[in-house]
A = this chain, B = another copy of it.
Amino acid sequence: MDSSLTPFFDPQGIVVIGASSSPEKLGYGVARNLLKGGYEGAIHLVNPKDGTLFGIPMQRSVAEVPDPVDLAVVIVPAAVAPQTLREVGQRGIHAAILTSSGFRETGPQGAALEEELLGVCRAFDIRLIGPNCIGLLDTHLPLDTTFLAPPPPPSGDIAFLSHSGAFCAAIIDWSRWQGFGFSRLISLGNQADVTETDLLAHIASDPHTRSIVLYLEGLKDGRRFLQEAARVTPRKPIVALKVGRFESGQKAAASHTGALAGAEAAFDAAFEKAGVLRALTVEEAFDWAQALAACRLPRGRRMAVLTNAGGPGVIAADSLEDHGLSLAALGTTTIRALQELLPPAASPNNPVDMLASASPADYANCLRLLLDDPQVDGVLLVLPPPPIYPAEEVADALIPLIRAADKPVLVALMGAHLVQTAARHFERSHIPTFPFPERAAATLARLAERAEFLAKPEAESQPAIQVDAGAAAAILEAAPRGQWLEAEAVDQLMSAYGIPTAPVKLAHSADEAASLAEELGFPLVIKVASPDIPHKSDVGGLVLGVTSPESAAEAFRTVSQRARTARPEAHIQGVHLQRQVSEGQEVILGVVRDPQFGALVMFGSGGVEVEGLKDVAFALAPLTPVEAESLIGRTWAGKKLDGFRNIPPADKAAAVDVLVRLAALAYEQPAITEIEINPLSVLKQGAVAIDVRIKC
């Protein structure tokens, strides 16, 4: 944990530079929030025109500020910000929040000013949050360095880090009526110095923080984020709302992998690897964060629904299935006990419908039975306004049970006016409620996901695969940049990393093709040999099922001519001959290098239709065998390796091994920018890379 960041979270004294007595100024708001917010350390105000504010005399300059002071909140015009920070440094303060805007976000001139700022920070060892931000807020210390109009957000256990100040302000306002609160809130602004990644460890170590929400517009250093996040997620859950997805539309790409791997695939893979839950909407992000902070985790995905009417029960059951959870099959003891408790017309099966007559005691008794059932991993409690009893009486009967339970109970409190008091009672007991079953079910699914993540065995150490990294590096050093490697180099790289290939021979003439064919045996595949023609079948540069030397010679002539016609500019070296591997299941493996996260590995249904079917999945290199197997299992191509109808099972372990080796190659050899094995033929025993392309 970086101790230079401690003054942001535990300052002994704070100076507000640019404090103002004009209520419409941001410098007024910051001083007000700091003073009224209950901060217990020293508070100093600086304004060149001095005067007093809230009864505190203002200093003319930061130089005059007495000890203790270790954090500066700066609200001054952009042009004088570098000089102000210099004075902050000269006063011996090493942490600053620069609220002001007018920097990188405004164009080249502002960017230059921001560079200057950063120079000052480096010269004086200042850690800087901002510029162009709202500041930070800790509801427990307490500390409020924002200028936002009161009231401050409610105190709670969610930490929120935001790249957008406006979004942060909207969330603060929205949270007021939502039944949850924040431990810490940090608006990061332009991130000239401090980024979300820098702060993760500090936030995670905060005892008041039980879950973390990140609003991300991008990342400065994806690999570092991955490392920091992976350190936090085993202890505290992180939910990320990463926006700007529409900007990463697919570009034209020479490989199928390149075409299919947008930047979002890399973000998804990174979040997956680090155990970060990715939300796609704002409501999702905070629904999940609330429950992750407040609720027990389920031991499995079998959920019970408890309600007092048929319709809401059916909606809940649908939602559970929609989100990959299952309706628990209740134990016979449970069903019998429910039958004894409930009227004959009630449904003692899951979803359990107690009928409209259900009393608060009925709710509690039934919930207890469901929680006691070992077949039940969690409960979705659906509470429309009870027609006979006030909803708050039901809530009061349930609250102690929910709090004591070792399984999650999520509450869908349907209604408004009639359930208002009940909502307040649940809130007071830190039990999140959801307006309808669908959002509760989605959230319950995230709790299950989190439980599964935590239950994963510690990632095994990298498997002891035998590779010749030195040989590979030497080959790559000699390779031209920005080009697809020649077949020989590709073969050598595959060999260095132990990836089996079907031997390939290059024929320069039809006669040579005939004699090499005899040497290799039949049946053969004959492919045009040209680094300029990545997709050979697109130009008819591929002949399958060659069974004699004569047809090999003929195929030589055919594919050469077709390739010359289709791509007159291509350099054609001859044709490649290769034994045709049949009876295997053909899959595609690929690698692209993501600028943020490095080597991104793809697995899926291969062939020419891969881009259309999109039956592919991605993961970040390196891969352990467990990760490789999980990647394979996310596609139909991977599931099919276990056999399907008349398709016999294939050697999945061999595919896992190739995937692990491919990921190691990509991870250890950063000169490689793109690899595609299409197809890898997964046989009854073993797997063979049939066509491999590698780009530097």
For residue A344, CB closer than 8 A to chain B, the reply is yes
Residues on B with beta carbons closer than 8 Å to the beta carbon of A298: none
Residues on B with beta carbons closer than 8 Å to the beta carbon of A644: 608-609, 611-612
Once the chains bind, are A311 and B646 in contact (CB under 8 Å)?
no
Q: Which residue of B lies closest to A538 (CB)?
A: B646
For residue A385, CB closer than 8 A to chain B, the reply is yes
Once the chains bind, are B436 and A283 in contact (CB under 8 Å)?
yes
Once the chains bind, are A312 and B414 in contact (CB under 8 Å)?
no
Answer whether A384 and B167 are a contact pair too, CB < 8 Å, given A246-B321, A438-B283: yes
For residue A514, CB closer than 8 A to chain B, the reply is no
Answer whether A246 and B317 are a contact pair too, CB < 8 Å, given A613-B615, A640-B609: yes
For residue A556, give the distance in angstroms from its CB to the closest CB of chain B: 20
Once the chains bind, are B314 and A177 in contact (CB under 8 Å)?
no
For residue A330, give the distance in angstroms from its CB to the closest CB of chain B: 16
For residue A49, CB closer than 8 A to chain B, the reply is no
Answer whether A149 and B418 are a contact pair too, CB < 8 Å, given A169-B384, A312-B164: yes
Once the chains bind, are A645 and B246 in contact (CB under 8 Å)?
no
Residues on B with beta carbons closer than 8 Å to the beta carbon of A613: 605, 613, 615, 636
Once the chains bind, are B612 and A639 in contact (CB under 8 Å)?
yes
Once the chains bind, are A345 and B436 in contact (CB under 8 Å)?
no
Once the chains bind, are B169 and A106 in contact (CB under 8 Å)?
no
For residue A571, CB closer than 8 A to chain B, the reply is no
Q: Which residue of B lies closest to A346 (CB)?
A: B106
Residues on B with beta carbons closer than 8 Å to the beta carbon of A40: none
CA–CA, A176 to B106, complex, Å?
Answer: 44
Residues on B with beta carbons closer than 8 Å to the beta carbon of A538: 645-646
For residue A309, CB closer than 8 A to chain B, the reply is yes
CA–CA, A636 to B177, complex, Å?
Answer: 46
For residue A283, give the distance in angstroms from its CB to the closest CB of chain B: 6
For residue A282, CB closer than 8 A to chain B, the reply is yes
A164, A314, A414: which has the most chain B beta carbons within 10 Å?
A314
Residues on B with beta carbons closer than 8 Å to the beta carbon of A300: none
CA–CA, A166 to B312, complex, Å?
Answer: 7
Q: Which residue of B lies closest to A29 (CB)?
A: B387
For residue A456, CB closer than 8 A to chain B, the reply is no
CA–CA, A280 to B166, complex, Å?
Answer: 31
Once the chains bind, are A246 and B107 in contact (CB under 8 Å)?
no
Once the chains bind, are B309 and A164 in contact (CB under 8 Å)?
yes
Once the chains bind, are A312 and B170 in contact (CB under 8 Å)?
yes
For residue A419, CB closer than 8 A to chain B, the reply is yes
Residues on B with beta carbons closer than 8 Å to the beta carbon of A164: 309-312, 314
CA–CA, A376 to B245, complex, Å?
Answer: 21
Answer whether A281 and B166 are a contact pair too, CB < 8 Å, given A345-B106, A418-B173, A612-B636: no
Once the chains bind, are A540 and B646 in contact (CB under 8 Å)?
yes
Once the chains bind, are A416 and B540 in contact (CB under 8 Å)?
no
Answer whether A356 and B415 are a contact pair too, CB < 8 Å, given A243-B314, A318-B244, A608-B647: no
For residue A250, give the distance in angstroms from its CB to the closest CB of chain B: 12
For residue A622, CB closer than 8 A to chain B, the reply is no
For residue A162, CB closer than 8 A to chain B, the reply is yes
Once the chains bind, are B311 and A163 in contact (CB under 8 Å)?
yes
For residue A604, give the distance in angstroms from its CB to the closest CB of chain B: 11
CA–CA, A414 to B164, complex, Å?
Answer: 14
Once the chains bind, are A416 and B173 in contact (CB under 8 Å)?
yes
Classify chain A's interface size.
Answer: 35 or more
Pick from B165, B308, B319, B605: contact of A309, CB under 8 Å = B165
Once the chains bind, are A244 and B176 in contact (CB under 8 Å)?
no
For residue A142, CB closer than 8 A to chain B, the reply is no
Chain B proximity mask over A430-444: 1 for CB below 8 Å, otherwise 0: 000001101100000
For residue A111, give the distance in angstroms from its CB to the closest CB of chain B: 12
For residue A160, CB closer than 8 A to chain B, the reply is no
For residue A217, CB closer than 8 A to chain B, the reply is yes
CA–CA, A608 to B646, complex, Å?
Answer: 8
Q: Which residue of B lies closest to A311 (CB)?
A: B164
Residues on B with beta carbons closer than 8 Å to the beta carbon of A611: 644
Q: Which residue of B lies closest to A540 (CB)?
A: B646
Chain B proximity mask over A141-173: 1 for CB below 8 Å, otherwise 0: 000000001010000000000111111011101
Chain B proximity mask over A289-332: 1 for CB below 8 Å, otherwise 0: 00000000000000000001111101101111110000100000
Once the chains bind, are A176 and B416 in contact (CB under 8 Å)?
yes
For residue A537, CB closer than 8 A to chain B, the reply is yes
Answer whether A646 and B312 are a contact pair too, CB < 8 Å, given A415-B173, A416-B174: no
For residue A251, CB closer than 8 A to chain B, the reply is no
For residue A532, CB closer than 8 A to chain B, the reply is no
Q: Which residue of B lies closest to A536 (CB)?
A: B646
For residue A254, give the distance in angstroms from its CB to the closest CB of chain B: 13
Answer whether A166 and B384 are a contact pair too, CB < 8 Å, given A417-B177, A438-B282: yes
CA–CA, A245 to B319, complex, Å?
Answer: 9
Once the chains bind, are B417 and A537 in contact (CB under 8 Å)?
no
Answer whether A166 and B308 are a contact pair too, CB < 8 Å, given A438-B281, A646-B538: yes
Once the chains bind, are A344 and B106 in contact (CB under 8 Å)?
yes
Q: Which residue of B lies closest to A110 (CB)?
A: B345
B-facing residues in A600-640 (Cβ within 8 Å): 605, 608-609, 611-613, 615, 636, 639-640
CA–CA, A281 to B284, complex, Å?
Answer: 14
A sample of 8 more A-B contacts (CB under 8 A), given A281-B439, A535-B645, is A106-B345, A167-B414, A173-B414, A178-B416, A281-B319, A609-B647, A612-B640, A613-B636
* Cβ-closest 10 pairs across A and B: A164-B311, A166-B309, A173-B415, A170-B384, A167-B311, A170-B414, A106-B345, A246-B321, A281-B438, A177-B416
List 16 interface pairs A-B (beta carbons < 8 Å), by A numbering. A107-B345, A166-B310, A166-B356, A169-B387, A170-B385, A173-B418, A174-B415, A176-B416, A178-B416, A245-B321, A281-B438, A605-B613, A609-B640, A612-B644, A613-B613, A613-B636
